[in-house]
Structure 1
């Protein structure tokens, strides 16, 4: 489930940047409805997975709050990616 959360985190972050690029004029405004719907679905999926993963991983309140706030701050999904990749690497059994 952590791996799925990692993928959704990246997709949600990229969709947020796409919406911001519409606001800045880099992408045509004709795509606002489609991007908005995609981002909304990904954000809800992010929140649902975040709720499940944070409980399962027994993350602290500070870690959980940081990961939730990262879904709101542009480019913060990159820091979440590093955090989740370290968590995944630490869960893998050491091969001898």
Structure 2
């Protein structure tokens, strides 16, 4: 299950970067909102999977409330899930 979470964290991080640095500029600069719709949908699904997997593996990884909060909040920020993968999931 941890391997799946690592993959989801990576994909969620990539989708966040694609949304912020490609789709949104295309929407507001090139007036083409289709990228936000498609990438945003993928990002939303990956975000929900990331949070669901974090909840599922919280006890397995023996995360306290602070660590769990950090893992969940990291999904909001660009590069956050990459940090979590490196700091909390690398050695598992």
Q: Which runs of 5+ in 2 are unaligned?
A: none
1:10 — aligned with what?
10
Name the counterpart of 1:92. none
Unpaired segments ≥5 residues, structure 1? 89-96
Q: What RMSD over aligned residues (CA atoms) do the two structures have, in Å?
A: 1.8
Q: TM-score, normalised by structure 2?
A: 0.84
Aligned length: 87
| TM-score, structure 1 normalization | 0.81
Deviation at 1:24, TM superposition (A): 3.4
Deviation digits for residues 3-59 of structure 1 (CA, Å, limit 9, x no counterpart): 110110010011011110122348953211110110111011111101001122221
Query: Which of 81, 84, 87 does residue 85 from structure 2 map onto?
Result: 81
Map 1:1-96 to 2 at 5 A: 1-21=1-21, 22-25=23-26, 29-83=33-87, 84-86=89-91, 88=92
